[in-house]
Chain A
Amino acid sequence: MDAPGGSHLPSRARLLLHISAGVITGLMLLPLLYLLFRAAGVGPAALELILRPRTGQVIWNSSVLTLGVTALSLLIALPLAWLTVRTDLPGRKIWTVLLTLPLVIPSYVGGFALVAMMGPKGILQSWLAPLGVERLPSIYGLPGALWALTLFTYPYLFLSIRAGLRNQDPALEEAANSLGHSRWVTFWRVTLPTLRPAITSGALLVALYTLSDFGAVSLLRFNSFTRAIYVQYLSSFDRSLAALLSLILVLMTVALLYSERAIQGRARYYRASAGSNRRAKRVRLGRWRIPALLLVIGVVAAALLVPVGVVTYWLVQGIQAGESFAPMWRATLNTVQAGMLAALAATLLALPVAYLSSRFPSRYAALISQAAYIGYGLPGIVVALSLVFFGANYATIFYQTLGMLVFAYVVRFMPQAMGILRTNLLQTSPRLEEAARGLGLNRRQVLGRVTLPLLRPGILAGAALVFLTTIKELPATLLLGPTGFTTLATQIWSATDEAFFARAAAPALLLLAVSATSIVIILGQEKK
């Protein structure tokens, strides 16, 4: 089979491309491979460690949390998506944006906001103390973790159900109506079943996020996998258990991914081609308008207004108390530096892999590009822990250096740049490059005058996305950062953990502002 385009590359360059893409993917696989190696090294003791009741407890906790957050998110997201897509709810465009925004709140900021509001030294307690309320019910543990994670992950489901509703052929519901079924019956028997793929993929994102989240569960002290791994890593010299727990977490992630396929089943859901391009008619809410608005306002208040309000409150408190901003400038500088290095490295490494998989499709290229995504699917704490072990044992020069930290970032976030670059390359016909050759340009001129200019938006967007994700990263930064290296994320985390809320407020507000811009980039990419 002839490779589409690219075939004009000389065979030496092609060989180099194949090899470098392979090496890059190999690097991306390093954390997982080392983890497997390490876990295998535990030997027969592994079984004993796994069968400990504490391990079972952790599995149980993570499962309950993941299922709970997914179910609650669905409960919130389904009515909200329906209200904003299919009804005449006033202000639905603004509500859609506001209901999506909680997505950009990093879970540890959400956790911070919750602890700083409802915790023992929080705002609510200080307000209620004069009234004689000695102690609020504890927000630590499962309730707090459920609350925080649901409010900051439901937008994944909200967005995918919205997309599902918008793509649905309005003729399906009309067909059900004309076959004698009321709108209510039609919703349960036609609308909801055909939304199954949208719900499943959105729920998968929520579940994966919850399972791998470190920030919220560690701040709210709920002993799920990620926190258990961290505690185990801190408290014990024998790190085999941490490695084994990480491996079980990876297995649970794989099981989740696999279950999505199983749930999708044999039915294929598609919108019949062009033709009925109509939008479905909007449902008039009538007297349900007020309750619907209250629901929307309630979610926006809990997921957006309260966190931002709490952060602002503590910022003002801090300024009044004369809190120093010096540590924050230091942390900001560190954050930006690490983020830029990661963006640069990730984009450079993503280019060969994306180019190979889009221009020289083969079994090898497909395998390479899929394998490179693994780091993205791994929980951050797992990548971090594996690199800690690897660095301490085999790469002591790199251990606890900025380079090691940047490498962890690249493993985790390079796939973001790769995805954007690949889309960009696939949308750019190789015929354009060939046309330039036909017009008398040599290979190098084509690269400089055609390929790179066409790729520029993808390169910039990919780099920006990696930068914005990196500066929010917590677990790898905690575990791998050089001694004394604080970023905005670690500062928020440690200040919250020690209940110095005012110290966490300024970096939290800064991070919120910066991450809000990342959604602009993501949405800009989706429009294409």
Chain B
Amino acid sequence: MTESATQNPQTASRNSPLAPPPEIRLEGVLKRFGAVGAANGVSLRLEKGQLLALLGPSGCGKTTTLRLIAGFEEVDGGEIEIGGQVVASSRLHLPPERRRVGMVFQEYALFPHLSVLDNVRFGLHLYTGDRARRARDVLELVGLAGVEDRLPHELSGGQQQRVALARALAPEPALVLLDEPFSNLDAGLRVRVRAEVRAILKEANATAIFVTHDQEEALSLVDRVAVMLNGQVHQVASPQKVYRQPVSREVAAFVGEANFLPGTANGRTVECELGTLELQTPVTGPVDVLLRPENLQVLPGPAAAPGRVRSTLFFGHDQLLSVETGSGAMLNARLGPSFYFAQGQPVHLAVKGPVMAYTK
């Protein structure tokens, strides 16, 4: 394609010569619908071959961001660059058909009047090689060889999903976008399809962005997670880092379950009701200490022990305890199934490992 060949020298030089240039870059992207800001300055970078999840609650602007990247909406400010070429800014709007972006829609949007093969072949009009062969190869990649002549409604949900993926991958796009791709699959199928989709994207060496509100999906699927709240990206990091070291109280509360206890931080340590705890990143002053339920240890104690079990939820592989501390704070703790706790039982609470704390 001609657009990809014309590398914009300005943007190329802005990147450090050592780090590989990002395949996609968003810089302060703005989008308003009426008075409502759906994207309030979204900034994001992703390297070639990486999978990124745009994770956030509904209404946080993640789908809008995806549609801005694809070119279905025009930006009100900021800049979007794909494969070294600026595709959107306040002055420029490259139409979707010239962005080399493959999109997998939430409802798949397979063309109902075309066979599976024709759906996949639909975007190959600029492909220089053997188009039928390319379509068959991609269908084979997604494990759908043999259903080429069927119509979309004759396929199961999981198969439709994979046709949509094959159709998006076939023209070898610079970037693949997936909008809540697993939300239409039932829970049993979802886990399997997720792993398959990840494998397919990795095999195709595709750069991809998922939009999802499902934390488990985001954490288990991708290389990088971007947490989006209120129209802004709050943190972009590996799944482990986003979970273990959330940059803010809001991110911590959205990703995973979180307890907060008030405390006073003195650089490397923090004082709180549960004692002096080691900090992962230094802070000073009055803080909220993040305690993940699985980092809390609950031990049966004598009647004088400060904690009281208020309720228990037993799940089999683990159990969730609600414990009231001496000061009256309620903390959720997750522990193994072996111990039995009665309601009102006195307990000691301890914390495993270093913690995060956020200035109030």
Q: A residues touching B (Cβ–Cβ < 8 Å)?
A: 169, 171-172, 174-182, 189-190, 193-194, 196, 266-270, 272-273, 275-276, 281
Chain A CB within 8 A of B9 CB: no
The list of the 5 closest CB pairs from A to B, nearest first, reads: A179-B123, A171-B109, A272-B107, A177-B96, A193-B113
Selected A-B contacts with CB under 8 Å, 26 pairs: A169-B109, A171-B106, A171-B107, A172-B111, A174-B70, A174-B103, A175-B105, A176-B111, A177-B72, A177-B96, A177-B97, A178-B96, A178-B97, A179-B123, A180-B98, A180-B123, A180-B126, A181-B97, A182-B97, A194-B112, A268-B153, A272-B109, A273-B184, A275-B183, A275-B184, A276-B106
Chain A CB within 8 A of B260 CB: no
In the complex, chain B residues whose CB is within 8 Å of the CB of A169: 107, 109
User: Could you tell me if A194 and B105 are in contact, using CB atoms closer than 8 angstroms?
Assistant: no
Which of B97, B99, B151, B171 is within 8 Å of A267, CB to CB?
B151
When C-beta atoms are compared, the residue in chain A nearest to B177 turns out to be A178
Chain A CB within 8 A of B308 CB: no
Task: Give A267 to B113 CA distance when docked, in angstroms.
Answer: 6
Chain A CB within 8 A of B95 CB: yes
User: Could you tell me if B107 and A275 are in contact, using CB atoms closer than 8 angstroms?
Assistant: yes
User: Could you tell me if B111 and A194 are in contact, using CB atoms closer than 8 angstroms?
Assistant: yes
Closest approach, in angstroms, between the C-beta of A197 and any C-beta of chain B? 10
In the complex, chain A residues whose CB is within 8 Å of the CB of B99: 178
New A-B contacts (18) at CB < 8 Å, excluding given A169-B109, A172-B111, A267-B151: A171-B107, A172-B109, A176-B111, A177-B96, A178-B70, A178-B96, A179-B97, A179-B167, A180-B123, A181-B123, A194-B113, A196-B113, A267-B112, A267-B153, A268-B153, A270-B112, A272-B108, A275-B184
In the complex, chain A residues whose CB is within 8 Å of the CB of B126: 180
Task: Give A193 to B72 CA distance when docked, in angstroms.
Answer: 22
Contact with A along B96-129 (1 / 0, CB 8 A): 1111111101111101111000000011011000
User: Chain B: how many interface residues by the 8 Å CB criterion?
Assistant: 32
User: Could you tell me if A178 and B184 are in contact, using CB atoms closer than 8 angstroms?
Assistant: no
Chain A CB within 8 A of B71 CB: yes
Most buried by A among B102, B111, B114, B151: B111
In the complex, chain B residues whose CB is within 8 Å of the CB of A270: 112, 153
In the complex, chain B residues whose CB is within 8 Å of the CB of A180: 97-98, 100, 123, 125-126, 171
In the complex, chain B residues whose CB is within 8 Å of the CB of A269: 112-113
Task: Give A17 to B337 CA distance when docked, in angstroms.
Answer: 64
In the complex, chain B residues whose CB is within 8 Å of the CB of A193: 111, 113-114
Task: Give A313 to B171 CA distance when docked, in angstroms.
Answer: 64
Task: Give A331 to B70 CA distance when docked, in angstroms.
Answer: 65
In the complex, chain B residues whose CB is within 8 Å of the CB of A275: 106-107, 183-184
In the complex, chain A residues whose CB is within 8 Å of the CB of B171: 179-180
In the complex, chain A residues whose CB is within 8 Å of the CB of B153: 267-268, 270
